[in-house]
Structure 1
Amino acid sequence: MKKLLRPLRNAIVLGTLTRAVSAFAAIVPTEWRHRQEINVSTPGVIRVELPDATFDAARPDLADLRLLDPDGREIALLVDTPSTPPAHTTRPASFEARLENGNTVLLLGTGTENIGLAAITLETPHPHFLRAAKIEISSDRDSWTSVDEGVPLFRQWGAERLAITLNHRPAAWIRITVQGVTVPFTGASLHFAAAEPVSALPVGARITGRQEFAGETVLTVTLDGKHAPLTALELDTPEPLFMRRVTVAVRDVRDLVPGERIVGSGTLYRVALDGAKPRAQLELNFSHQPLSRELLVHIHNGDSPPLAVNGLRVKREPAGLRFLAPSAGSYTLLAGNPQAKAPRYDLAALVGDLQAATATIVAPGPLQDTTNYQPRASLAEPPLPDVPLTGAPLDPDGWTRRKPVQLAAAGVQELELDAATLAGARHDFADLRLVRAENQIPYLLERTKLARSLTLAPETAPDTRRPSVSTWRLKLPHAGLPLLRLALTSDTPLFQRQFRLYEKVTAGDGRSYEHTLASGEWSRTPEAGSPRTRVFELSNRLQTDTLFLETDNGDNPPVELAGVKAEHAVVRLVFKTAETDGYELLYGNDHTAAPRYDLSLVAPQLLTADRHSARLGAEEAAPAGFARGALRHLKGGYLFWGALSLVVVVLLVVVARLLPKAEASK
């Protein structure tokens, strides 16, 4: 009976829709930048699967999409996106933890047995563990059904997995047996979902850059298009065993300050426990609609070597359009009109019918540019100002250091400041000036949360007056380097010491004193998992190029240092160029104010553009400052003072000739 009523229902809907279409105001197709052909062979309900190119061409909200019938008239359409399954998180009705045969057994009462349980997240204060778990469910607490075994649970080096997936199984009772040495679990959260999520679709993406930082790898991922609703990212790695915390970020600007915004985070791993089959979680779920074609994937390695990555896959929600085609023929989908207002179709009474009706799935043709594209000038939004390429002239007098800037290609550039520049510039970087042909090049200062590491060689510096104190001297490559932290590594199996990090500074009156940079306790035990590394955060900027580290051993044997690493922040300049030569970076001026460029008005466009990597050349120093033009090579040298003396002599001669001569004595 339903099959007989369906054609009648579609016919009624089609008739209603046809009458609604006649009320549309005519649109001008040339006001849309792009178009795609949709070939309909049979009248009826049509679903168009939107490809990445359509998302990239349309506005983020798809409000500019319009559909034309074979006669060029606009017809109503419905953006068809999967509804998010209703979900909620709650605490279990009961939670019990007990020991059985050296294992931890957790018994959870869900309080219901009719709703699908998506996952359980356990809670524990234990900082470092790796265990396997067995999962069982029951409806009466007497008869148990095994769901899974060898499920890895861990918290190590910033990576964490405390969630157990149940694949939407209903269960009144859940029993979790955690094997091995006791781990104190204190509670849990239950995640319910009424239905499984809709299968995702692949998105064109590729890794276009990889950079290694201190304990962190950053992958630059370029998407084939923007605006598609992303749902997951999957890494392809050959590593047999690993655990990594991974975050997905996009470049962002807040209060004119460039930075990054995290849009997804989680733990990826591949482990094998207690002879069980290897387990892997290589997919990171997140929800984000990118406004650019770039994603930044941070892989947090900690003290482990960088993770090998062969590639990755990005996924998105399936999305499409539905409409009722009154006849067969070639329909046209228009996209790319930032001036268009969202349509208001009279579809309120037809949405349910359109979504429930059986639809013919059609793929649109390739995206094409509209011939004679012409936006409405009367309603056109003023274009965004182009990125300025040059700023005001600059007199280099007062700047004491400079480096050439090497560019590979014109366009938007990303210049990372090296350690020497960080040490030579002011702490607020207000003295940085990018110049070409004595004109300033506007830039944006990008302070990242990334860090570069330097390996330091500790040298023992014993103090005969204090034989129980161990002292090490640490030499830095540059004086005044703005360090963030110092990481110490030791293989000494058992110790507990108070450490102090300081530098010896000479005051203005010539007296020397010890400037403490960090201090704190460091302890280590022979237990498995006891960290070999202690990190000391530094809050003050260094003034010298030598650090001293000391600890009092008391009556204990001295602590042996296996390694020392120092970390400094990654700071970048982002700017745009039309040429590739003649650029210089000036710094080392304690008396100048920070520059103010109009470039900040277009910061989002500049920071989200594709970038080229620029590099700094060798440093040139001029303690008295650089002079402009021809005096640049004279200032501070003998030629300069000789020329100045000659000018003074010439002026004296001229003045002497102009003075009236004294009358001869009679």
Structure 2
Amino acid sequence: MKQNLNLGWLGALGLCVALSATAQEKPADFKSQLPLSLSGEGPWYRLELPLAAQLNASQSDLGDIRVFNAAGEPQAYALAREQAETREQRSLTEVKWFPLYSSADASEAAPSVRVQSSASGTLVEVQPSSQLEAGEEVLRGWLLDASAIKAPLQQLVLDWTSERDGFQRFSIEASDDLQHWQAWGEGQVARLSFADERIEQHEVGLPGQSARYLRLLWSAPQSAPILTSAQLQSTSTSSLPLPLLWSQPLAGSSPKAGEYIWQLPTGLNVERLQVELSQPNSLAPVTLYGRRDNNQPWQPLTSGLLYRLTQNGQDVVQNDLQLTGRNVQQLRLTVDERGGGLGAEAPALKVAVRATQLVFLARGAGPYTLALGNPTVAAANLPLATLIPDYSPQRLKALGQARVDGALQLAASTATPSVAPQASGPDWKKIALWAVLLLGVLALGAMAFSLLRKPAAKT
């Protein structure tokens, strides 16, 4: 009882603190607001954030983004940088197989074997742990080496010599260390002949889990056939990344010959950039550096060769540089001028960042507003699986959609953020809120103290 009381007290205290944090956030606390229009079925809606939203955010990780309803109440939300669809890739891999022998009177037990494998785990040799005399050995099953397959196993495909017809049933076990085995159920293959008809079943379904080794032990009949082929089908799925969003051309400066600097509106996770090559027959080996602000040293990001050459009357242009998505706000390009350079003035620059989806749970009456631009608030986004209890990529794709209503350029709010200090006197509303919360905590503490002092009931 005491433990439950402590947990309840801590949960209530955490709720009070959370309420105090969210109760102070209002749309006017953020420098930019945009109305949203909704379509489709709710209560969850997903919004593809325009690049203007990222450029106007005060925090590079979008921790200052919020959605409010008509009453100014913040909505629960999550951020996603993957599309609502997945890509599935199926592969059929030929694997090595090794016989498993045991004596005829030990047919119910798994064969005891001696295994030799390489440093990577690939099986080299599998031999019985004890020498069996001729005529006593029985082929009980097969050990399959799936160590080269990293994706979940979906299907087993077997082929065997023509001497064995009829149904064959066997158990399937999986292991990663050849010591501990997990049952994967039973499989059945068949080769049947009737008149001039022939029916063959070679495929066996697997549970879609990963394993380095599979052990097949025959139960009906108790001796295994001679395999001629063993294949495993694996399936890997991956979420597709959202497309890139490109900025408008950005102007730069050239502090000295062969060096150009650009200042981004805010810190961005840049994944690609394009340098405008206005002069034909330009050729420039370049090195790109980046940093967050003037107080940090320049860090090398990438290097490459930029060119715009005329061949057969047509321009051949290479003006892209691929980056790793590091967060930067300043970029510096140094040019090896032995190639002719890029001119005295800094060329225009475009940067690309990965698109981001915002998913929110619509609570209360609309219209809803997207707000951002507050450097002091803490991030409030939830994981997608928490926001949507039965989350899946397919479910995400079927959500209703939200769109920014109007121009993508965000206008700064004329209202003074309430987080700024007020010169007109103390904020009595905030003081009253904290007083109520403090009284609630004291009441909970008194309740806990009285319950702890109460004598336990006699049984």
TM-score w.r.t. structure 2 length? 0.44
* Higher share in helix: 2
Higher relative CO (Cα under 8 Å, sequence separation at least 6) belongs to: 2
| Superposition TM-score, scaled by structure 1 size | 0.32
